Amino acid sequence: METSQREDQQHAAERRRQELLEAADRVVLREGPGASMNAIAAEAGITKPILYRHFGDKGGLYRALAARHTDALLVGLRAALDAPADRRDRVERTLDSYLAAIEARPQVYRFLMHPADEGQPSEGGFDVGRHSAPLLRRMGEELAQVISERVDLGPGSDELARTWGHGIVGMMHAAGDWWLRERPFPREHLVRHLADLLWGRLASSGDLPGGPGF
DSSP string, 86-131: -HHHHHHHHHHHHHHHHHH-HHHHHHHH-TTGGGPPPSTT--HHHH
Q: What is the pTM of this model?
A: 0.79
Mean pLDDT of the region 110-134: 60
- pLDDT for 151 equals 78
Among 29, 20, 117, 21, residue whose Cα is nearest residue 65 = 21
Higher pLDDT, 160 or 123: 160
- pLDDT for 167 equals 95
Evaluate whether 110 touches 65 at the Cβ level (below 8 Å): no
Q: Which residue type sits at 92?
A: E
pLDDT digits (tens, 9 = 90+) for 186-197: 999 999 999 999
- pLDDT for 178 equals 96
Cα–Cα distance between 213 and 24 in angstroms, integer?
Answer: 49
- CATH number (3.30.365.10, 1.10.101.10, 1.10.357.10, 3.60.40.10) of 57-203 reads 1.10.357.10
Q: Look over the chain and give the mean of its residue pLDDT values, rounded to a whole number.
A: 83
Mean pLDDT of the region 58-63: 85
Q: Which percentage of the chain shows pLDDT scores above 70?
A: 85
